[in-house]
Amino acid sequence: MTDTKGNDFEVYFLKRDLLMGIFESGFEKPSPIQAQCWPPLLSGLDCIGIAATGSGKTLGFLVPALLKLARLGPNPQSPASPAPRVLIVAPTRELAMQSDVVVREVGQ
C-alpha cells in the first residue's frame, strides 16, 4: 500500500468545484486506496483496487469519473436533455445507492 502521509487532495490538481465538494462532504485527506488509484485513473488507465469496507473506494473511482465529466463539459449531442455520459456498474443495489449519494454530495 502506498504511504499517503502528507498527501493532500490538491496534489492531484482536481478542479476547484470538485475539491469544494470533497471538503464539504467531510473528507480531509485522500485515503491510501484513493492515493494509489487516482494517478493511473486520472491519466486514463484502468485500475483494480482492493481495500477494506470504509476505506474510500467509492470516492476513489468516482472522483476521476467526475473530473472527466467536468472536462468534457455539456453534452454536445443533446444540450437540452443530456444523455448518460458515465455508466457505473455496482454488484448490489446498496452499492449503487451509495455511489449515487457520493456523486450527488461531491459532484454538486
Residue 90 has φ and ψ, to the nearest 5°, of -125, 145
Cα separation, 54 vs 7, in Å, equals: 19
Spatial separation of the C-alpha atoms in residues 20 and 106, rounded to whole Å? 8
Amino acid at 60: G
User: What average pLDDT does the chain have?
Assistant: 81
pLDDT band per the 50, 70, 90 thresholds, residue 96: very high
pLDDT tens profile 45-75:
999 989 998 888 888 888 888 888 777 666 5
State the pTM of this model: 0.73
Write down the pLDDT at residue 72. 66
Count how many Cα atoms sit within 13 Å of the Cα of residue 88 in the half-sphere of its side chain: 21
